[in-house]
Structure 1
Amino acid sequence: MASRRNLDSTCTRRTPAGAAMLRAALGLALGLGGTTLAASAAHAQSAASGQAASARSYAIPAGPLDQALTRYASEAGVELSVDAALTRGKSTAGLQGRYGVQDGFARLLQGQGLRVVQGAGGAYSLRPAPAQLDGATTLPAVTVTGSAETAWSAVDGYVATRSATGTKTDSSILETPQSISVVTADFIKETGASRLKESLAYTPGINTSPWGADTRFDWTVIRGFDAQTPGYYLDGLQLRNNNSWAVWQTEVYGAERIEVLRGPTSVLYGQNGAGGMINVVSKRPTEEPLHELEAQVGNHARRQVAGDFSGPLDESGKVLYRITGLARDAELPASGLPNDRFYIAPALTLKPSSDTTLTLLSHYLRVRDGSSYGSFPEVGTQLYNPNGKFSRNTYVGEPDFDRFRQEQWMVGYMLEHRFNDTWTVRQNARYGYTSVDYRQVYVRGGFATVNPDDPNDPANFRMLERYPFGSQENARLFTIDNQAQAKVQLGATSHTLLFGLDYQHSRNYQSTYNDGVVNPIDGYDPVYGSPVKTAAPWFDATTKLAQTGFYLQDQIKWGNWVATLGGRYDKASADVNSNIDGSRTKISEHNFSARGGLVYLHPSGVAPYFSYAESFSPTATIDPVTNSPMKPETGKQYELGIRYEPPGGTSRYSAAIFDLRRRNYITYTPEFLPKQTGEVVVRGLELEAAFRPLTQMNVVAAYTYTPKAEVTASSTPSEIGKQMQAVSRNQFALWADYRFESGLKVGAGARYTGPNWGYAESAAEKIPGYTLIDAMIGYQVQRWNLALNVRNLTNKSYLSNCSNGDCRYGDGRTVLATATYRW
Structure 2
Amino acid sequence: MSKRKQNRTVGKQLSRWQQTVNGLVLASALAVAPSVMAEDNAGASAKRHYQIGSGSLSHALSQFAGSAGILLSVNARLTDGKSSPGLQGEYSVEEGLRKLLSGTGLVHTYTGDNTVTLKVVENRSQTDAATLAAVRVTGKAVYDPDDPYNTDYNRSNASTATKTDTPIMETPMNIQVVPKSLMNDQQDINITDAITKNVSGVQARYDSGTIYEAFILRGFTTNDIYRNGLLRGFGTYDPSNIEQIEVIKGPASMLYGRAQPGGLINYVTKKGLDSPAYSVQQQVGSYDQYRTTADATGPIDKDGKLRYRLNFAYQDIGSFKQFVNDERYFVAPTLSWRPNDRFEANLELEHKHEKKATDYGIPSIGNRPAPVPLDRSYQDSAKGPVLDTTLVAYDWAFKFNDDWKVKNRFLWENWDIDYYDTGNKKLLADNQTLTRNLVTGPANQETYATNLDLTGKFNLLGSKHDVLFGGDYYHNAYAAPNNRYTTTAVLPPINIFNPVYNVVSQAAVNALPYSWNYIRKEERFGAYFQDQITLFDKLHILGGGATIGSLMAQVVIARPLTWQRLTTATRKTRNSVRA
Q: Measured at CA, do residues 595 and 159 of structure 1 come closer, stay the same or move farther in structure 2, by a change above 3 Å?
A: farther
Say whether the 8 Å CA contact 2:157–2:166 is kept in structure 1: yes
Instruction: Write out per-residue CA displacement over residues 446-476 of structure 1, whole angstroms, 9 at most, x where no aligned residue.
Output: 13x7xxxxxxxxxx43332323234631011
What amino acid maps onto 1:339 in structure 2?
D
Q: Which residue does the alignment assign to 2:411?
A: 430
Shift of 1:199: 0.3
Residue 363 (structure 2) pairs with residue 377 (structure 1): yes
Shift of 1:154: 8.6
Shift of 1:210: 3.7
What's the TM-score once normalised by structure 2's chain length?
0.70
Q: Which residue does the alignment assign to 1:405?
A: 386
Residue 319 (structure 2) pairs with residue 346 (structure 1): no
What amino acid maps onto 1:199 in structure 2?
A
Residue 547 (structure 2) pairs with residue 569 (structure 1): yes
Q: Measured at CA, do residues 263 and 470 of structure 1 come closer, stay the same or move farther in structure 2, by a change above 3 Å?
A: farther
SS at match of 1:190: helix
Match of 2:378 among 381, 390, 396: 396
Shift of 1:576: 4.8
Q: Which residue does the alignment assign to 2:396?
A: 415
Match of 2:465 among 479, 485, 495: 495
Instruction: Write out per-residue CA displacement over residues 758-807 of structure 1, whole angstroms, 9 at most, x where no aligned residue.
Output: xxxxxxxxxxxxxxxxxxxxxxxxxxxxxxxxxxxxxxxxxxxxxxxxxx
**2-structure distance, mates of 1:562, 1:253:** 36
Q: Which residue does the alignment assign to 2:272?
A: 285
Say whether the 8 Å CA contact 2:314–2:328 is kept in structure 1: yes
Q: Which residue does the alignment assign to 1:591?
A: 573
Match of 2:251 among 240, 264, 277: 264
**1-structure distance, mates of 2:470, 2:516:** 37
SS at match of 2:169: helix
Q: Which residue does the alignment assign to 1:545?
A: 522
Match of 2:188 among 193, 205, 224: 193
| Residues 184-223 of structure 1 mapped to structure 2, 5 A cutoff | 184-211=179-206, 214-223=209-218
Shift of 1:380: 7.7
Say whether the 8 Å CA contact 2:396–2:409 is kept in structure 1: yes
Q: Which residue does the alignment assign to 2:228?
A: 235
**2-structure distance, mates of 1:179, 1:595:** 18
| Residues 651-730 of structure 1 mapped to structure 2, 5 A cutoff | none
Shift of 1:586: 5.7
SS at match of 2:213: coil
Shift of 1:581: 5.0
What amino acid maps onto 1:287 in structure 2?
D
**2-structure distance, mates of 1:405, 1:316:** 43
Shift of 1:337: 4.8
Shift of 1:355: 0.4
Q: Which residue does the alignment assign to 2:427?
A: 446
Q: Measured at CA, do residues 93 and 595 of structure 1 come closer, stay the same or move farther in structure 2, by a change above 3 Å?
A: farther
**2-structure distance, mates of 1:408, 1:288:** 30
Q: Measured at CA, do residues 376 and 368 of structure 1 come closer, stay the same or move farther in structure 2, by a change above 3 Å?
A: same
**1-structure distance, mates of 2:148, 2:176:** 15
Say whether the 8 Å CA contact 1:262–1:276 is kept in structure 2: yes
Q: Which residue does the alignment assign to 1:557?
A: 534
**2-structure distance, mates of 1:477, 1:199:** 25
Shift of 1:409: 0.9
**2-structure distance, mates of 1:264, 1:566:** 13
Match of 2:175 among 180, 188, 193: 180
Instruction: Write out per-residue CA displacement over residues 711-739 of structure 1, whole angstroms, 9 at most, x where no aligned residue.
Output: xxxxxxxxxxxxxxxxxxxxxxxxxxxxx
Q: Which residue does the alignment assign to 1:528?
A: 501
What amino acid maps onto 1:421 in structure 2?
D
Match of 2:139 among 94, 99, 122: 94
**1-structure distance, mates of 2:264, 2:354:** 24
Gaps of 5+ in 2: 1-132
What's the TM-score once normalised by structure 1's chain length?
0.50
Give % identity.
Answer: 22
**1-structure distance, mates of 2:264, 2:517:** 29
Instruction: Write out per-residue CA displacement over residues 322-353 of structure 1, whole angstroms, 9 at most, x where no aligned residue.
Output: 00000112334322454101000000100111
Shift of 1:314: 1.2
**1-structure distance, mates of 2:300, 2:264:** 35
**2-structure distance, mates of 1:293, 1:206:** 33
Q: Which residue does the alignment assign to 1:312?
A: 299
- Which piece of structure 1 moves more, 177-186 or 460-469? 460-469
What amino acid maps onto 2:356 in structure 1?
D
Residue 454 (structure 2) pairs with residue 484 (structure 1): yes
Q: Measured at CA, do residues 462 and 516 of structure 1 come closer, stay the same or move farther in structure 2, by a change above 3 Å?
A: closer
What amino acid maps onto 1:393 in structure 2?
D
Q: Measured at CA, do residues 539 and 557 of structure 1 come closer, stay the same or move farther in structure 2, by a change above 3 Å?
A: farther
Shift of 1:299: 1.5
**1-structure distance, mates of 2:148, 2:467:** 23
Say whether the 8 Å CA contact 2:290–2:315 is kept in structure 1: yes
SS at match of 1:182: strand
Say whether the 8 Å CA contact 1:154–1:256 is kept in structure 2: no
Q: Which structure has the greater CA radius of gyration?
A: 2
What amino acid maps onto 1:544 in structure 2?
K
**1-structure distance, mates of 2:487, 2:572:** 40
Residue 501 (structure 2) pairs with residue 516 (structure 1): no
Shift of 1:266: 1.3
Instruction: Write out per-residue CA displacement over residues 483-520 of structure 1, whole angstroms, 9 at most, x where no aligned residue.
Output: 00111111211111100011112221124555421222
What amino acid maps onto 1:328 in structure 2?
Q
What amino acid maps onto 1:390 in structure 2?
V
Q: Which residue does the alignment assign to 1:729?
A: none
**1-structure distance, mates of 2:304, 2:484:** 54
Residue 337 (structure 2) pairs with residue 355 (structure 1): no
Greater RCO (CA < 8 Å, at least 6 residues apart):
1
**2-structure distance, mates of 1:213, 1:187:** 28
Residue 309 (structure 2) pairs with residue 322 (structure 1): yes
Q: Measured at CA, do residues 290 and 474 of structure 1 come closer, stay the same or move farther in structure 2, by a change above 3 Å?
A: same
Say whether the 8 Å CA contact 1:390–1:523 is kept in structure 2: yes
Shift of 1:288: 2.0
Q: Measured at CA, do residues 190 and 595 of structure 1 come closer, stay the same or move farther in structure 2, by a change above 3 Å?
A: farther
SS at match of 1:334: coil
Q: Which residue does the alignment assign to 2:55?
A: none
Instruction: Write out per-residue CA displacement over residues 250-284 of structure 1, whole angstroms, 9 at most, x where no aligned residue.
Output: 21121110111111111111122221111111111
Say whether the 8 Å CA contact 1:505–1:545 is kept in structure 2: yes
**2-structure distance, mates of 1:538, 1:563:** 55
**1-structure distance, mates of 2:213, 2:389:** 16
**2-structure distance, mates of 1:502, 1:153:** 32
Shift of 1:566: 1.4
What amino acid maps onto 1:174 in structure 2?
M
RMSD: 2.7
**2-structure distance, mates of 1:156, 1:491:** 42
